[in-house]
Amino acid sequence: MAVATQVTQPVTSTYSIFDQISEMDHEQVVFCHDKASGLKCIIAIHNTVLGPSLGGTRFWNYSSDDEALKDALRLSRGMTYKAAITGLYLGGGKAVIIGDSRKDKSESLFRRYGKFVNSLSGKYITAEDVGTSKEDMEWIARETKYVTGLPEYMGGGGDPSPFTALGVYMGMKAAAKQVYGNDSLSGKKVMVQGVGHVGAHLVNYLEQEDAKILITDLYDDRIAAVSKKHNVIVVNADALYDHDFDIYAPCALGATINDDTIDLLRCSIIAGAANNQLADEKVHGQLLVEKGILYAPDFVINAGGLINVAMELQSYNSERVTVETEKIYHRTLEIFAHAKQKNIPTYKAANEIAEERLRSIAILNSRR
C-alpha cells in the first residue's frame, strides 16, 4: 500500500511559490499527495488571528497545478476577510482537490484527505465547496473532527448553500435599495450565472419576489432541474454578455469580472455567491465604479454558508443561523455608506472594515 505523503515545502519552483505565498501573506500552505487514492490537494491557511481557519474544499479539474495553487491562495484569503467582516471568531483557510468531481471521488480519497486535515490539529477546519457535498464530509469525518457541513443526523447543519443563497438575496436587496431607492426585486431582470447548490436556491427567492430570472450553467442537468421547477429564461453560457439585465448574480466560479468581460456587462448591480468575482479587485473594482455598476462585495454577501458551518462548532441552531444571515442586509448597506463617505469602491470599503478588525485583534494577541 502506498504511504500518504505530505510535502510542506514543494520541491519545484520554490521561489515563485514563496513569492505568491508572501504576496498574499499566507501563514501556511500544505501540499498533500496520495498515489493509491489519486489524491492531490493543496490546503492554504491564510490567517488565524481571529481563530482557527475555516473554509470549504473545492474539487475542480484545474488545468495546471499553478492554477490550483492560485485558486487556493485567493480563496483562503477571501475566507479571512469573510470571517472578519461577519464578526466570526474564525480565520481564513481553503483547500482544493485537483480532479474531476464527477469521476474521481471515492471514499478512500476523502478519507485520506481527512487524515491530512487531521494532521493540522485544528488549525484548518474544512467544509463543502464547489464539487463537494455533505456526503463527502461524512467520509472526511471518519478521519478527523475538524470538518463541518455535516449531515443533520451527525449533528451538522447539512448543506450550507441555502443559507449562502439567503445572504446573497439579502445583499442583493440592499444593493437594490441603494440603487433604486427601495429593495423590491419585483420586475427586475436578474441573471444567475451557475445554478448549482447556491444558484438554484437563489432562483427560488427571486421567484418569490416576482423577478424576471435568466439562468445559465455548463451542465444540462442543472438547467433542466431548475427550469422544471421555476419560471426562468435559459441563456447559453457563452451568450451571457449578449443580454441586458438589471442585476448580475455570479454563482459559478470566480474572476468572471475581468478585462474581457467588464466592458460587455450592461447592468446596474452585481450581487452573487461566487468567491473572488473581481479578477483584480483594484483594477476591476474601480472600473465598476466608473461604469456606474454597484458591486455588493462577494465575501460580505456570501457569508451565510460560513455562518451556518461556524454554528456547528457551537451548538447548531438553524433559527440563529437565519437571524445572523439576515444581518447581511444591513451590513451591506453599511459598506455602501462607508464607500460613499470615503469616495472609494465598495470592495475597498469592505476590505478596510475587515482589516480594521484583524488589526485590532492582532494587537491584542501580541500583548498576550
57 binding ligand NAD? (CB under 6 A) = no
Considering only 138, 217, 246, 312, the residue that binds ligand NAD (CB under 6 A) is 217
| Cell, residue 159 | 448543506
Instruction: Report the nearest approach of ligand NAD to the CB of residue 219 (Å).
Output: 5
Task: Tell me the site size for ligand NAD, rule CB under 6 A.
Answer: 27
Q: Which residues contact 274 (CB under 8 A, 6 or more apart)?
A: 193, 194, 250, 251, 252, 253, 254, 256, 298, 302
Residue 282 buriedness (CB in 10 A; 0-12 / 13-18 / 19+): exposed
Binding mask 230-269 for ligand NAD (x = CB under 6 A): -------x-------------xxxx---------------
Nearer to ligand NAD, 32 or 251 (CB): 251
| Cell, residue 169 | 438575496
Cα–Cα distance between 142 and 123 in angstroms, integer? 18
Q: Could you give the 3-state DSSP secondary structure of residue 6?
A: strand
- Contact segment (CB under 6 A) with ligand NAD among 25-33, 112-120, 138-146, 210-218 equals 210-218
Instruction: Report the nearest approach of ligand NAD to the CB of residue 327 (Å).
Output: 16
Examine the residue annotation and report whether 94 is marked as an active-site residue of this protein. yes
Instruction: Report the nearest approach of ligand NAD to the CB of residue 84 (Å).
Output: 15
Considering only 42, 45, 69, 198, the residue that binds ligand NAD (CB under 6 A) is 198
Taking Cα atoms as reference points, which of 350, 346, 348, 354 lies closest to residue 178? 346
- Beta-bridged to residue 94, according to DSSP, are 44
Q: Could you give the 3-state DSSP secondary structure of residue 41?
A: strand
Instruction: Report the nearest approach of ligand NAD to the CB of residue 148 (Å).
Output: 11
**Catalytic residue of the set 82, 94, 173, 348:** 94
Shortest-Cβ-distance residue relative to ligand NAD: 196
Q: Which residues contact 341 (CB under 8 A, 6 or more apart)?
A: none
199 binding ligand NAD? (CB under 6 A) = yes
User: What does the DSSP 8-state code read for residue 138?
Assistant: H
State the catalytic residues: 94
Positions touching ligand NAD (CB under 6 A) are 129-131, 160-161, 164, 193-194, 196-199, 216-219, 222, 237, 251-254, 273-275, 302, 305
